[in-house]
Each structure stands twice: as C-alpha cells, then as structure tokens.
Structure 1
Amino acid sequence: MTLRTAPFSGAEASPDVAPADFGALRRQDPEVAEVILGEAARQARTLQLIAAENVTSPAVLAALGSPLANKYAEGYPGARFHGGCELVDTVERIAVERATALFGAEHANVQPHSGSSAVLAAYAALLRPGDTVLAMGVPYGGHLTHGSPANFSGRWFDFVAYGVDPLTGWIDYGRVRALARRHRPAAVVCGSISYPRHLDYARFREIADEVGAVLIADTAHPMGLIAGGAAPSPVPYADVVCATTHKVLRGPRGGMLLCGRELAERIDRAVFPFTQGGAQMHTVAAKAVAFGEAATPAFAAYAHQVVANARVLAAGLAAEGFSLVTGGTDTHLIGADPTPLGVDGKEARGRLMAAGLVLDTCALPGAEGRGLRLGTAALTSQGMGEAEMARIAVLFAQALRRGSEAGVRAEVRELAGRFPPYPK
C-alpha cells in the first residue's frame, strides 16, 4: 500500500516554516539569509536520498529556533549549575519521559550533542583506555567511532573488527562469536552505517555474555524504525543503546542514550561533566517534540512506509542492473554497486548529483572502490510512495547513461515540485 498523505499537511503546514523573524535576518545579514534561502531551494528542487538525512516537522524547527537557545543549563533537572532553569528542567523531563516511554527503556539521557557524543559517553561509562572492543570494521560499514584510527575510539581502545561474508554481505555471527572467544573483549558493539538488514540483538547478547563483555548497541540509523515498530529493538538486550535523534527518527540533529537503572548514574556522569558541558536546551526541546511525534500512529505508518519504499527502490535498482549489498534491504537503507553499469561509485555519484539525485558513497563488502549508499526516509517524509520509488530507480539508470542527465534533471525537479518538503 502506498502512503499518499504527506506527514506535514493541513494545519501543520505553513509557508513560514522559520519560527524566528526571518525578515530581520534578511535585513541584518542578507549574506547569511541568502545562503539559508538557497539551501531551502536546493532541498526543494532535488531529491534527498542521503540515508542519514530527513525532513523535520515545522514544530521541531520552531523548538530549535526558540528562546531556549539562550539558556545555559549545565547539569540535570533539579541539579543545575546555573539559575533560572525551572522551565528548561521541565522540558528536559518531558523529553526523558517521552523517550523512555517510546522505547521501553528504564533511563534516557537526551543531552548528547550528536551520535558520536553518545558513543563517546557510553565508552567513557563502561570502558577504560586500552580495553579491547569488538565492533564492525569501518570497511564493512562500521562507524568512525567503531575503531577508526582517525577517531578517538581507535586511539584510546584496542578494537578488533568483525565484518560480513564477502559473497553475501550478511553478518556471519559464527565468525563474530569466534573473534569474541579469541580476544575476550570488554565490550561488543553492534551497529552499522551501511548494513541494510536487521541486527540479531539476541545473538549479540549471547556472544557478549559468553565472554563477559558488555553489549553496546549503536542504533543511529534504525532508531526511527524502532520507534515506529518497523525494526526490532535492542533495548531488551543491550546494556547501553546509543542513537541519533535525526535520521529516520525525524528530530533535530543530536544524540541520546538508553540504559537500565543500574547504569543510569554512570551514563549521566559520562555525558556531564565528563564529555560535555551545558546541554543545548533548544535541541533538547526539539527532541521532546520529535519523541512526541514518533509516538503517534501516523509515525508508525510512516516508518513502515519508509521500509516499503526502500524495498521497492532496491528491487528497481536491481532490475536496472545494480548489484545490491545482501541482495536487498529490511530497513530504510540500500547499498548499491553501480559497476555493472560501467561506472564506479565516485563517477556514479557525480552523475546522479548533476541530475538532482543527492546521495552518498560508501565502502561495499566484496566490491572494488566505493559504492552508493542511499535511503528513503526524507522522500517518505515528503509523501512519496512505491510508485515514485519505482520511477526513481529508472531515473538512476538513465542518469548514468551519458547524455541523459538533462532529461533526468527535469523529471527530478518536476517530481520534487509535486512533493515539497514543506507544503504551503
């Protein structure tokens, strides 16, 4: 079934989606104002297929542009280091209550500035520098915080990488268990930025328990699907769950942590004062708004439509000759190798961008060079369904044929015009 109703319609839609006085900004700083207007136009004229991006609601934008941005609030509700925090205490309590109810967790920390900040806090709470950590390797879809030598994680901890089967692209849990037995890590991390299948959190829990390790779930990508009941939850299995509040969750850019009561104090102290100072209270308020939206039946329908759209888009790309990681997807995310069409990932991305199809490249298991990583969260927020996904797959193939970019660009602009990010 195709979901044809855009989520930001009717009374929620407004021609003035900026809650602040944008006219004042244009008068005071026209240079910056023009950049913002240009970005709004870019988003409205192209198709956003970056898997880590989405379209927030006007209500989330209103919270982000609110006077809460002025308030300094180091500490936690009821125990701040600054005066005048009574109201920001209230909004943080709302965010925490909504997050714990939404995900069925005993404790939530909504202060991390990003997903990476959340992972840093989890490591700080549970590990010591030099500890061994088992996580998905960066070349297979692990995040920088999963042991990249360019990141704090790779410099402070001894990471052992697990990967995927080079032929199927699926995680080999037997191999993960063998690595855990051999290296006896202090922590096992499950999560990826490009793995398109659901993770088996119960099996990761078994592996961690067998070697006496804590289990950290990094659900930055699927957290919105989890909220909407379209993906399994790690909360019953992981000691700590790290996540972002944007991506499919459709909130502001930021991070969050979920855990049980027994780890609540350690997690909170790892966020503040160990890794961060004052919380961004306008962002915390926007997170509260997003959690409230994610608890509705409309969001559950949205999350399932995101997956349905991704599966149709994946099948269409396969029919056009792309090679897909794991042969398809269970989530919002697709990994596609364009080399069967005669182009590598870098060249393919450039041609697709020129045609108005905005996406990323990433390392693909078993492939030479880089492939394409794309997602359906933003387009689904704009109200697109399976019919549009099937057509977009055809546009992908047309854009990679030389001389076709102009025609594809015109059709992309027409399609984007029918499904604007913020209907007026």
Structure 2
Amino acid sequence: MSKTLFTNLNLFDGVHNKISRNLWMLVNNNTGKIEDFGSDNEPFADKTVNLHGKYIMPGIVNVHTHVSIDPRTPDGDGNADIVTSTVRAVKHLHQLLKSGVTYVRGCGCNHEMLDITLNKLQREGRLTKVPRMVPCGKPMTMTGGHGILFGGGDEVDSPDEMRKAVRTNFANGAKCTKVMATGGVMSVNDNMTQPQLKVPEMKVAVEETHSKGFVVAAHAEANPGIMNAIKAGVDSIEHCFYLTSQEIQMMLNKKIYLTPTLIALWTIIVHGDELPKWELNKALDCMHHGFDSIHRAYKAGIPLTFGTDSGCPYDGFTNSAIEFQLMVDKIGMTNFDALETSRNSAKLLKLKDYGTLQKGKYADFLVLNHDPLQNVKAVQQADKAVYQHGKREY
C-alpha cells in the first residue's frame, strides 16, 4: 500500500475558521484519501512532499457551469457543431481544474449528451486533468424557453412530458436535473419576470429526480418564477436576484440552497460596451437588485453555494476564484463564509467525501502562497498547485 506524506503545511480544512499550522498530512495513494494529520512523529511514507510552509485548502466544488459554450460571445455560440463544442468543453474543463475547481456540476450544454459523455470518459480514465463531474444532460425548459438559445434544452409542456423527459435524461446518464423557472439575461425574447415551467411540471421533475437520489437546480431570477421553484420543492435555486422576505423564509424552512453566480453579472457589467444594449440593461437591473437580495438571504442564514455560471458572456473558466472575492466585496460575507460556499456545494450534491480536508476524505486540495482566511484573493493565485486524490494535476 503506497502512501505520500505532505509535510510543512498550514491547513485550512474547510470546516473550522482557523489555520492549523506546521502540520503533516498522510495520503493513501491507492484510495486517494487522507489517512491522518499530525504535527510531530512523522509516519513512514513511500514519498514525501515538502510544502515549505504553504497553505492548503479544499479543492473548489463549483455547482454551476456550462463548459461547452463560448464566453467570448454575447450568446455563447450555442449553435456550434458538436466537434467545436467538444473541443472547447475539454479546454474549459482543463482551465477549471487549473483554476482550483476539482468538482463541477454541469447546468446545461449545447449538445444533450456532451457533458454526460465527458463524465463517462473521465470516470474511465480516458479524459484526464479535468474536474470530476455531475452532468445534467438536457436542461428542462418550456417550448421556446430559456436555454433553447444554447441548443441544449428539452422542451416540455406538461407534467407527463416532464416525467418522460427526466426519465430519458437519467437513462442517458444524467446525474442531476436543471429546470428553467424563468427567462434570463441572455434570452432576447423573454425577461426574468416571465414564469416559464410551472409548479406542476417542476414538481414532477423533483419527484423523478429525488427517486434517483439526485438533486434539482432551478434557474429562477425573479418572480413569480422563484416562488414557483420554491413551491415545487427544488434543491437549489440559481441566481435568485429578486428575492422577497417571504421567499427567504420559505427557502429556510425547506432547506433550499441558493447559488448566487455573482461573477456572471460582474463580467457582463465590466464588458458592457461589448454586449447588446438589451442584454446589458437586464444585467444592470439584476445587479442592483441581486446584490441586495443575496445579502439578505445570507444574513437570514440561507446556505449559499459556489457557482460561477462559467460560459456566460466574458465569464471565463480561468477566473472561478473571483466569485469568493465578489461574495466578500458585494455581499458582505466574511472570508470564511465565502470559502464555506464550496463546502455547501459538496453538501448539496451529496458528495460526502469531498469539500473538506479531514481524515477519510479525498485529498482534493490547493496549495497557496498566502492564507485564504486572511484574504480570499489568495485563491486567485495563477500558479497554485492543484491536487486530486493526492496526485498533483497542475
């Protein structure tokens, strides 16, 4: 049984709001899991890696990505052929891992089987140096609804059609469900206040998905779509830019997670002169209301997850860690609470062996020059080392 001993490290374990200093960590190379920590009496190992006083933290779990679409365009280039889409999806997955994201949930690709196939290849060892994946396959939307822009949505217009579509999606290899409860910023023919899938349709998606032991994410930016998603019993609501006090309480009562995707708004604003005016105006309105809504949700105790919506306009795959900075600067979160959103992402996805660095968990971790609890910008370090299951990938 081969083991690696990592020495001279400072640990942020993702659980406690502190740095444990001058430790060693022992990893079982056969399982990829952490066997022990300590500060003296270093155990025997086949290999020793001296981290020279650097800081380690858990790999990031990102629950909102679109790896096949092009962030350099206003519309994601959703009509690209499958070869083009696959090539850039693989590139984006490499970029995500190098940025520190070791696990992702897909929230829609422009070809229905793309993320499912990439996940299969990664599990079989034929696609390497990429995050592990939770693919959603086809997002569920109404006829002409949000997501059709990307060429990857499954149009359903009744509870029965939803049941058939979700079951088919899982038969094809999906591991979660995405439903579109509202229009969105990138949809030219709708807006956030227009409800799309209705409560009975989304309830069926929840029922079928939960029967498989998986989770449902709802794209819901405004009302009445947010309320519809809450009533349907989804597990997480993505964006949530126009939350009411009543909805905050209902989300608390139902233990629904919120994925803010702040960077998706921020990048649109920064690159506003490169986008159609209608898209910029939507984003500006969302930003004004969204930061306040998410701040109130945070203060109320709704668990926030880490998700970047990467693939949206100018929201690339190399800068995921900026989301932590925006949580602190725009929402008023503490450094620890911002970093804990990645742990919440692992909880949402039921990844019990990921999200923290503890005995018995997988050794997915980042090596940083500076303390992330002192400054979350430390996670943005371009040349950080990235480990998965105890093996350095970048």
TM-score, normalised to structure 2, is 0.30
- Higher fraction of strand: 2
Larger radius of gyration: 1
Hey, which of these two has a bigger chunk of helix by percent? 1
Q: Larger relative contact order (C-alpha < 8 A, sep ≥ 6)?
A: 1
